[in-house]
Amino acid sequence: MNAKAFTSPLRVDFLILGSGAAGLLAAARLQRHGRVAIVSKGTTHDSNTWFAQGGIAGVLAADDSVENHVQDTLAAGAGLCRESVVREIIRRSGAIIRELIDIGTTFDTHGEALHLTREGGHSKRRIAHARDATGRAIARALQAQLGADVLRLCGYTAIDLITSHHIGDYSGPNRCLGCYLLAPNGQVLSVAARHTILATGGAGKVYLYTSNPHGASGDGIAMAWRAGCTIANMEFIQFHPTCLFHRDGSNLLLSEALRGEGAHIVDAQGRRFVFDYDPRGELAPRDIVARAIDHEMKKQGTDCMFLDARPLGEATIQRQFPNIQRSLQRLGLDLNRAPVPIVPAAHYTCGGIDTRLDGSTAIENLHAIGEVACSGLHGANRLASNSLLECLVMADCCAQTILSHPAPAPRHIPAWDDSGVEPEGERIPIKQNWEEIRATMSHYVGIVRSNERLRRAKRRLLLIQHEIDDYFWRHPVSRDLIELRNLAQVALLIVRSAQMRHESRGLHYSTDYPLTLPEARETLIPPAEESKT
């Protein structure tokens, strides 16, 4: 349905922000029970799901078990996983993957059985995949399930959530009433909804090197924080060990499945150095491999290490990794001919909005699912290919909860107030602050951290945030300005979380606190702490 026919305010039953796997499945589950609107900042392809390569983990093989998968997940999570959530998501893994097959997802097969690969941290082959474009195959199958009545708002950017407290109603608990959206024509659309679902993904763009698409600016996390949600475990940013190091392809991910099938990580002399850090070598969990690469780069004074896929052979590369190979060849590189330069890059946000398994948040009628949420599945380090699984199971549980708890009809919400704004004189402050945030985070809040680095980052980010806040309320909103505001907020939440953790655990490594404490505790930042950030 064409959204341009609507004017503000728009009323729907279910407002879904984000069109990745979580948002798409939620929309498919809810579409027969009310009016659904699904919002995308760009096209429906502009999501981390669309770019996900490796696959989706699940208990599918005869020699595997739920308990095996649970134990691998708990081990990767370094004591911070919520075990009940882990068990429930993995218990549902086989059923959700079979449903994907039933709706037309084209997973690779070996004979009549699924072809399962293995990735770092897994004790068994349990990754279902569609060559090296699994997310795209899943997204296409889910998009095909949406009927013509689903309202697709492409090119719309969420500005802020609207809550009862936001409009001055303190007669009861804080309730989400909808959202303000920036339309492609520059107008602000007010959308009232019974239920609002955040499925906006992570915040990889807070770093210079990332595998994420441009839109991964932490919008859902920042909006939920401003609305009154608790944020959990934001210090745990997963850096994928093998992102291409190339000025024209800096967000090209070289799937972990390459290493699962036998590719080696080497230095410029061809030495497989990861075994110096862990006996599992390239198949160690991502935090270990990323730190090994980072340490070797610093020790050797180089800008990158290398991934050598030649041991796989040309037939395996062509069969399982054709899209990666084509992307590299366009840049003058070839997996069959020589090692490819790599660098660790921000890949996945393990923390996020504190939720239950069904996406419930501290705000009534506001739900968060997928990477934007901190459900407790990943703990201090996400096990490879558990993310798509989490997206789908959370979406399923979220829809069930929503349908079993009807909300009142959408109420009147105020129009966006842009009184007193003045035209922008120049865009340079936006560009400069965007670059400074990403450089600050990469230099001071990366794979290895220290108290002094975090203090420096916080000082710089607070100054930037003050500039952005002043600019935001004085000028018309734009997508760039909205994303910049959110990026600064999320960067500060990451720094604050990192400062609160006085140990090294999982993805968070501090030179000042190199040991792991006996008791694992989550880092929770309630909204009341905003003034102290």
Task: Give the Cα-Cα-Cα angle 203, 246, 292 (nearest 5 degrees).
Answer: 70
Please determine, for residue 6, whether its predicted confidence score (pLDDT) is greater than 70. no
CA distance 255 to 253: 6
Please determine, for residue 532, whether its predicted confidence score (pLDDT) is greater than 70. no
Query: Could you tell me how many helices (H) and strands (E) the chain has, helices first?
Result: 15, 22
Q: How large is the average pLDDT for residues 238-248?
A: 87
Amino acid at 122: H
Give residue 291's domain range.
Answer: 237-347
Q: Quick check: 289 and 265 in contact, CB under 8 A?
A: yes
Look up residue 215 and give its two tokens: 């839109």
Terminal Cα distance for the chain, rounded: 42
- Residues forming beta bridges with residue 411, ordered by sequence position: none
Task: State the greatest distance between any 2 C-alpha atoms of the chain, in Å, as a whole number.
Answer: 68
pLDDT in tens, 359-404: 999 999 999 999 999 999 999 999 989 999 999 999 999 999 999 9
Q: What is the pLDDT of residue 531?
A: 38
Question: Is residue 284 left, alpha or beta, with left meaning phi > 0 and alpha meaning psi from -120 to 50?
Answer: beta
371 found inside a domain: no
- Residues forming beta bridges with residue 404, ordered by sequence position: none
Q: Quick check: 137 and 106 in contact, CB under 8 A?
A: yes
Neighbours of 322 (CB within 10 A): 13
286 found inside a domain: yes
Amino acid at 516: T
Q: What is the pLDDT of residue 529?
A: 47
Q: Quick check: 66 and 87 in contact, CB under 8 A?
A: yes
pLDDT in tens, 446-495: 999 999 999 999 999 999 999 998 888 888 899 999 999 999 999 999 99
pLDDT in tens, 276-332: 999 999 988 778 898 899 999 989 999 899 999 999 999 999 998 998 999 999 999
pLDDT in tens, 151-175: 999 999 999 999 999 888 888 899 9
Residue matched to tokens 């935090």: 287
363 found inside a domain: no
Q: What is the pLDDT of residue 501?
A: 98
> Phi first, then psi: what are they for 380, rounded to 5°?
-90, 0
Q: Quick check: 385 and 130 in contact, CB under 8 A?
A: no
Q: What is the pLDDT of residue 384?
A: 87
Residue 492, judged by CB atoms within 10 A of its CB (0-12, 13-18, 19+), counts as: buried
Alpha carbon separation from 443 to 53, 208, 231, 387, 456 (Å, rounded): 28, 9, 24, 27, 10
Sorted by sequence, the CB contacts under 8 Å of residue 422 that are 6+ apart come out as 474, 475
CA distance 301 to 296: 8
Catalytic residues: 286
Q: What is the pLDDT of residue 468?
A: 92
278 found inside a domain: yes
pLDDT band at 511 (very low <50, low <70, confident <90, very high): very high
Cis peptide before 279 (omega within 30 of 0): no
CA distance 8 to 491: 32
328 found inside a domain: yes
Q: How large is the average pLDDT for residues 63-74?
A: 96
Give the H or E element holding residue 297. helix 286-300
- CATH number of the CATH domain containing 333: 3.90.700.10
| DSSP-derived 3-state class of residue 118 | coil
Residue 456, judged by CB atoms within 10 A of its CB (0-12, 13-18, 19+), counts as: middle
Q: What is the pLDDT of residue 17?
A: 97
226 found inside a domain: no
402 found inside a domain: no
The overall average pLDDT reported for the chain is 91
CA distance 210 to 224: 23
Please determine, for residue 72, whether its predicted confidence score (pLDDT) is greater than 90. yes
The number of domains in the chain is 1
29 found inside a domain: no
* Least trusted range by pLDDT, from 118-122, 310-314, 504-508: 118-122
Cis peptide before 9 (omega within 30 of 0): yes
Output b/e per residue, 430-451; b: 16+ Cβ within 10 A: beebbebbbebbbebbbbebee
130: closest CA among 418, 337, 363, 323? 323
